[in-house]
Structure 1
């Protein structure tokens, strides 16, 4: 139980630290310009256009490196908060909550909302409900995978215990 409390606390600290950083402190564009100097997949990525915050986001509108950074940032929201959802799920499961998956997803929604609210207060940052939805979608996806994994693991144990 202590390890789950530690993990939840650790994750909350990481979210808090990341929320306090300005975009300029977080940008990875200079690194992308070094690593991806030949602009791999630029032609394929140029065919993609997303709408975010009622604005078109594409290689054409943002530039290659900023578009890649946008995709990485949103994938980080999805996967990072998805993993946070799994940690909450395991914590609530250990605490014997009746519906740990629902509580985990709700916790991520609340945490994501608070994170975006905090970001609105930081200079040079925006807090967007779209990011809360990405966070929550990540939690739904990863918690589902965790539940599926645990279910498969428990069924495998049951099958292996059956007499031949």
Structure 2
């Protein structure tokens, strides 16, 4: 039980810490310019046009490195909050609460909403509801995978 509480607190601290940083502090574009100097997959990435916060994000509109950074940042949202969701799901299961998956997704939605609201008031940051949805979808996706694994493990141990 203590390990879940520790993991939840650690995950929330990471979210809070990264949300406090301005874009200038978080940007990885300089590293991407070095790492991806040959601009791999530029032709393929140029096919993507992503609607986000009232604009279209693409290689054409942002440039290759900023577009790749955008994809990495959004993947980080999806995966990071997915991990938070799984930790919450396992914690709620341990507490034997009803509907632990639903509660975990709802908790992630609440945390992501509060995080985006806080970002809306932080200099150099924006709070975007699209990120709340992305965070919640990440939680839902990873929680479903975790729930399937838990179900398979329970079924497997019952038959053995």
- Residue aligning to 2:80: 80
In the TM superposition, structure 1's runs of 4+ consecutive aligned residues that sit over 2 Å from their partners are none
Q: Is it true that 1:15 corresponds to 2:15 in the alignment?
A: yes
Given the two structures, how large is their TM-score scaled by the length of structure 2? Answer: 0.98
Instruction: Structure 1: give runs of 5+ residues left out of the alignment.
Output: none
The aligned counterpart of 1:110 is 110
Query: Following superposition of structure 1 onto structure 2, how do residues 43-58 of structure 1 map, counting pairs within 5 Å?
Result: 43-58=43-58
Partner of 2:61: 61
Other-structure match for 2:145 = 145
- Aligned-residue offset at 1:6: 0.5
Tell me the alpha carbon deviations over residues 116-159 of structure 1, each in whole angstroms, 9 at most, x when there is no partner: 01111111100000000000000110000000001111111122
* Alignment deviations for residues 45-100 of structure 1 (CA, whole Å, 9 cap, x no partner): 11111110110110000000000000000011001001100000011111110110
| C-alpha distance in structure 1 between counterparts of 2:16 and 2:50, whole Å | 28
Q: Which of 1 and 2 has greater Rg?
A: 1
Distance in structure 1 (CA, Å) of the matches to 2:50 and 2:103? 31
Over the residues paired in the alignment, what is the CA RMSD in angstroms?
0.6
- CA shift at 1:32, angstroms? 0.3
Instruction: Say how many residue pairs are matched.
Output: 160
The separation in 1 between residues aligned to 2:121 and 2:44, in whole angstroms, is 37
1:36: which partner in 2? 36
SS in structure 2 at match of 1:144: helix
Gaps of at least 5 residues in structure 2 are none
